[in-house]
Structure 1
Amino acid sequence: MSGRLLPCSPQEIGSLFLFEELAPEQLGRLCAEGRVEGFDAGPVYAEGDPATCFYVMIEGTVVLSRRVGGDDIEVTRTAQRGVYAGAVQAYLGDGVRQVYNNSLRVTEPTRFFVLPADTFASIVREWFPMAVHLLEGLFFGTKSTQRAVGQRERLLALGSLSAGLTHELNNPAAAAVRATATLRERVAKMRHKLGVISSGPFPRESLASLIEIQERTAERVGKAPAFSPLEASDREDALTDWLDDHGIPDGWRLAPTFVQAGLDTDWLEQVAAAVDEGILPGAIGWLNYTVETELLMDEIEDSTTRISHLVDAAKQYSQLDRAPYRVADVHELLDSTLLMLSGKIGDRIGIVKDYDRGLPRIPAYPAELNQVWTNLIDNAVAAIRDAGGDGTLTVRTARDGDRLLVEFGDTGPGVPAAIRDRIFDPFFTTKPVGEGTGLGLDISWRIVVNKHHGAIEVDSVPGETRFRVLLPVTAPDPDTDPTEAPA
């Protein structure tokens, strides 16, 4: 918006710290090509509008704010003469999208010296060519470095996740291979035992009863209950005694398998009643192979199911087969990230999921939110390890007004108050050289605030740190480009 045009005094302009070193003819040019405007209390310009002017306050009080989610967050409030805002990067020209990166308002009648953006750019380039080259190099160099190191940060995270996923996949895969090899051996022995039994002088009725018992045994294996160590030990002793009393060799070896399958002495009595005494040892041995075969097939099924879940989690995490911007369930994203990081988290850190399952799905960039979760979980795990290695990671979701809250809490040493205001700064890290880029939280902040129009906050005391991510539950305004991330 425009203010009231007022007289421009070169002497007054020259008293502002920004212009105090300029020559009289330069001050005269400023007044000739610029203007002084007076504003009553209210807005001067809004964040996101084209940056058309460079403002320098002569007198009054200004407030700068940023739009975070649905709220205007005050960044600066000052009455210091000479503070400036607006098109401060106009000298970069078309290399940068020239919009106001904040909103400016005044709380009392205020005067500004105002330069049109193109005039400000040409004057700065003409008067300070070396400074412009240095500033351009600094700006574009920093942006380039951020992109390069940010890509490296993503590659490092991907490498860590790949190593963890490989480890997680290897365990069930190896278990399935071992179980398959053992299963082949057991099936061969079962065929041999069946051949011995069928070639003996046993009535057809006994063999039919044995086959029927085998079927019922297989069904019981699939419904076997879980026993405590003490219960399992007592049942093994009882089964061993029964097997010994009935002349079954190696009863101590067979008993644990039968217990694992949920079988007891009552079941053995049914077997003994169904077959002749002479066939009993062979029948018990054959049924033992049946039980082992069923248990091994269960192990193979569990292992391959685990592999399938890991692959699904990897697809969910990477979002390779999904649209980049879509409506998503944050709980699915959180679960896939926790599963992908389970190898890195380890067994010494407990995970508590405090989810509000009634929360709505939200419009988001799921793959990028997964990167935020990865960064925050990685930092939490590192903090817990710094505190000794044992601790708890709590992931909580809840409704916070018109926003969705995702909170990561850890029991680490906390973030010192002296650096709390710097942790989201690019390249700031407390990790040793070579172990951190200092961009994890900066990238997270950009994804949450710039791309999702949300907010990210931290509360920390020794023994409890909580990072809070607040995301809108509705899509941004239609005229807002969700892919635009201001510098």
Structure 2
Amino acid sequence: MSGGAVPVCSPDLLRTLFLFEKLDDDQLDELCRVGRIETVEPGPVYREGEPATCFYVLLDGTVVLTVLSGTREVEMSRTSHRGSYAGAWTAYMGDRVPQVYSGSMMVPEGATFFVLDAGDFARLMADWFPMALHLLEGLFFGNRNAREILDQRERLLALGSLSAGLTHELNNPAAAAVRATSELRDRVVKMRHKLGLIASGAYDPAVLHLLIGIQEDAVGVVASAPTLSPLEESDREDELGAWLENHGIAGAWTLAPTFVQAGLDVAWLERVASTVDPEILASAVGWLAHTIETELLMNEITESTSRITNLVGAAKQYSQLDRAPVQVSDVHDLLDSTLVMLSGKIGTGVEVVKDYDRTLPPIPVHAAELNQVWTNLVDNAVGAMDGRGTLTVRTRPDGDRLAVVIEDTGPGIPDDLRGRIFEPFFTTKPVGEGTGLGLDISWRIVDRHGGDIRVESRPGKTEFVVRVPLTAPEGEEHD
């Protein structure tokens, strides 16, 4: 405060403020009648979330306006500009909006204000500026409704993209399971046919007993078949195919890949040949081949259905439909489920590199909301690379916070745009391809968690760093 006597409210005084300079004498007299001049000692004037009871216009001094970001006060404005106003400025909208202070105001060295009670401010606005009031209300509610509609549209677009990707991912294992089941049915028919031959007495009981033992051994080998390189696989197929052909086995080169896939070799076939008479070797090998094919098909069905189960689990983890709003979650699980959900969009042209610090503890978060943040950042990164490049997802400790880094090898964000990317409705995409809500939504979600998002960008490397607290924001409950 600059010192001196507290001024008396008068039309001449109020007329020096830009907010009131166009009012006539009667209006200025009315303001002085219902308003008052107040001096405020250093400290808080009002707190965010408290009932908004007064409208303040600065006459002298400095004010600092802040808003809460999680548990931290973030300074939004510091000004000594005479006539600056704050407080219950939405009082004229009545109970259609919450009548609480949207931020906090404090004065570092004391200040002098012209003060109107919220009720008087609302009444004067309605009496003196009815047209302006309608325009302000239209602007306020119109922007809010537009934000809600576009938020919903952005989420629906993201849901549609994710649904398409999930459908594509589910289709592959589902189709594989259907095909394997059909082939398995054919093999079972052939096995029944072989069982009929056995029942006719074609096999000596002792030989049959030995073949059943070999069959069981083959099933065990299938379960632990080694993974061969393409060259090793080709060499073994040649060896097995030649052996089968030399022993007069029909379809030798068709059977060879099956035996190789099962992990069997020439030594195993020699064991079969030493067990049965030459005249029934082909039939015995065919019967064992059907057994092996059946086991391989069952493995394929198991793998395909497991893949479907894992995809459904990832979708459940991603959506968090059955979870509490806030729960302790492993951020790596959330990131993995997001990458699975976006795998169709990521495609084969983008290499995904995971660099996780698994020593990081689970953290209390709104899991479904954070998944939306990862979705927006990964989607933007893939789009920036035009489907080709390297996407790196990294986690690391950052003091009392956990940092998640989404890095891409795209062309980078131009310097003149970097400062605007978190603005509502701002987008660098062509008209019709983006609403400009992704990063704005992401910023608001992370801010709600008491965290922040930073970006560093140059051609070939763009990093979005999301930092969230390791502990829950004050007042948040979690499971």
TM-score where L is the length of structure 2: 0.92
What SS is found at the alignment partner of 1:376? helix
Aligned positions of 1:190-269 closer than 5 A:
190-196=191-197, 199=200, 201-269=202-270
What SS is found at the alignment partner of 2:17? coil
Gap regions ≥5 residues in structure 1: 483-487
CA distance in 2: counterparts of 1:301 and 1:453, whole angstroms: 44
**Cα contact 1:53–1:114 (8 A) shared by 2:** yes
What SS is found at the alignment partner of 1:18? coil
1:372-391 Cα shifts (integer Å, max 9, x gaps): 22222222221121xxx211
- 1:126: which partner in 2? 127
1:198-232 Cα shifts (integer Å, max 9, x gaps): 53554221111111101100110010000011111
**Cα contact 1:69–1:471 (8 A) shared by 2:** no
**Cα contact 2:43–2:110 (8 A) shared by 1:** no
- 2:84: which partner in 1? 83
What SS is found at the alignment partner of 1:184? helix
Once the two structures are TM-superposed, the CA of residue 238 in structure 1 deviates from its matched residue by 1.7
- 1:485: which partner in 2? none
Among 388, 405, 408, which residue is 1:407 paired with? 405
Once the two structures are TM-superposed, the CA of residue 332 in structure 1 deviates from its matched residue by 2.3
**Cα RMSD, aligned residues only:** 2.4
Once the two structures are TM-superposed, the CA of residue 301 in structure 1 deviates from its matched residue by 0.4
Among 448, 451, 456, which residue is 1:454 paired with? 451
**Cα contact 1:161–1:340 (8 A) shared by 2:** yes
- 1:105: which partner in 2? 106
**Cα contact 1:197–1:279 (8 A) shared by 2:** no
**Amino acid in structure 2 at the alignment position of 1:136:** E
Identity %: 63
CA distance in 1: counterparts of 2:257 and 2:321, whole angstroms: 46
Aligned positions of 1:367-378 closer than 5 A:
367-378=368-379
- 1:465: which partner in 2? 462
CA distance in 2: counterparts of 1:351 and 1:36, whole angstroms: 63
Residue 317 (structure 1) aligned with residue 346 (structure 2): no
- 1:362: which partner in 2? 363
Sort the Cα spacing of 1:196 and 1:278 in 2 relative to 1 into closer, same or farther, 3 A. same
- 1:340: which partner in 2? 341
Once the two structures are TM-superposed, the CA of residue 294 in structure 1 deviates from its matched residue by 1.0
Once the two structures are TM-superposed, the CA of residue 197 in structure 1 deviates from its matched residue by 5.0
**Cα contact 2:71–2:474 (8 A) shared by 1:** no
Once the two structures are TM-superposed, the CA of residue 6 in structure 1 deviates from its matched residue by 5.0
Gap regions ≥5 residues in structure 2: none
Which stretch shifts more, 273-282 or 339-348? 273-282
CA distance in 1: counterparts of 2:98 and 2:406, whole angstroms: 35
**Cα contact 1:61–1:107 (8 A) shared by 2:** yes
Sort the Cα spacing of 1:121 and 1:402 in 2 relative to 1 into closer, same or farther, 3 A. farther
Aligned positions of 1:290-329 closer than 5 A:
290-329=291-330
CA distance in 2: counterparts of 1:5 and 1:43, whole angstroms: 20
Q: Matched residue pairs, number?
A: 475
TM-score where L is the length of structure 1: 0.90
What SS is found at the alignment partner of 2:274? helix
**Amino acid in structure 2 at the alignment position of 1:464:** K
Sort the Cα spacing of 1:5 and 1:218 in 2 relative to 1 into closer, same or farther, 3 A. farther
1:337-376 Cα shifts (integer Å, max 9, x gaps): 2211111211111222222333333333322222222222
Once the two structures are TM-superposed, the CA of residue 160 in structure 1 deviates from its matched residue by 1.5
Aligned positions of 1:389-404 closer than 5 A:
389-404=387-402
Once the two structures are TM-superposed, the CA of residue 189 in structure 1 deviates from its matched residue by 1.9
- 2:290: which partner in 1? 289
**Cα contact 2:326–2:477 (8 A) shared by 1:** no
- 1:187: which partner in 2? 188
What SS is found at the alignment partner of 2:125? helix
Over 6 Å off, 4+ runs:
none
CA distance in 2: counterparts of 1:36 and 1:481, whole angstroms: 43
Sort the Cα spacing of 1:201 and 1:463 in 2 relative to 1 into closer, same or farther, 3 A. closer
- 2:278: which partner in 1? 277
CA distance in 2: counterparts of 1:370 and 1:221, whole angstroms: 40
Sort the Cα spacing of 1:102 and 1:459 in 2 relative to 1 into closer, same or farther, 3 A. farther
**Amino acid in structure 2 at the alignment position of 1:93:** G
Once the two structures are TM-superposed, the CA of residue 28 in structure 1 deviates from its matched residue by 3.0
- 1:152: which partner in 2? 153
**Amino acid in structure 1 at the alignment position of 2:410:** G
**Cα contact 2:72–2:450 (8 A) shared by 1:** no
**Amino acid in structure 1 at the alignment position of 2:56:** Y
What SS is found at the alignment partner of 1:97? coil
What SS is found at the alignment partner of 1:274? coil
What SS is found at the alignment partner of 2:385? helix
